[in-house]
Amino acid sequence: MEIVPWVIGGVVALVLLWLVGNYNHFVRLQHHIRESWSGIDVELKRRYELIPNLVATVKGYVRHEREVLEEVVALRNRAQASHGSPGSQARDEADLLRGLKQLFVVTEAYPQLRSDQHFLGLQKELALTEDRIAAARRFYNANVRDMRQRCEMFPTALLARFFGFSAPEFFELDSALERVVPRADLG
C-alpha cells in the first residue's frame, strides 16, 4: 500500500511536467511569431524607402504618366500606414504590388529609362527586397502554422483555450499573380 502514493505522486508530477512543457512551448511559439513578423516589417519598411526613389527616377523620364506615379505613391503610403492584422496588411501590400507592376509596364515604353543605371540599381534593390519579404513571409507563416496546429490538436487545444493562446492570421497574398515579384524586362 505504500507504493500507491508514489504512483499517484509520479503521475501528478508527469502531468505537471507535461503542462509546464506545453505552456512553455506556446510561449516560445508566440515569441517566434513576433520575431518573424518583425522580419517582415523590416523588409516592408525597406521597400517603402525604395519606392519614392524609384518613382522620382521614373518621374524624370515619364512626364505624362503622372497618374500611375501618383497611384503608386498613394498605395505605398497606404501600405506603410497599415498596422492592422496580417490579413489587412496583406491586402494593402497586394494593392501596392499591382501598382508597382503598372509602373514597370509604363517604363517599358522608355528605352532610355530602362538603361539608366540609377533606375536599374533601384529595380535590383526592389527585386532583392521582394525576395527577402517572401522569405520572411514564409518564416512567419511557418511559425503561425505551428501555433495553429498546437491550438487545434488535442490535447494541446485544451491548454491553448485554458491559457488564452491563439494563432494569428497567415500573411498571405490574394492570388498567385500577386506573389510574382514585380520586374521590368530590361533585355
**Do 93 and 110 touch, CB atoms closer than 8 A?**
no
Tens digit of pLDDT for each residue in 95-115? 999 999 888 888 888 888 777
Contact 72, 122 (CB under 8 A): no
Q: How far apart are CA 17 and CA 28, in angstroms?
A: 16
pLDDT of 144 > 70? The answer is yes
Residue extents of the structural domains in the chain: 14-179
pLDDT: is 82 or 148 the higher one?
Answer: 148
Q: What is the pTM of this model?
A: 0.77
Per DSSP, the three-state class of 60 is: helix
Going by pLDDT thresholds of 50, 70 and 90, the confidence category of residue 128 is very high
The CATH number of 14-179, from 2.60.40.10, 1.10.3720.10, 3.40.50.300, 1.20.1440.20, is: 1.20.1440.20
pLDDT, tens only, 27-79: 999 999 999 999 999 999 999 999 998 888 888 777 667 788 889 999 999 99
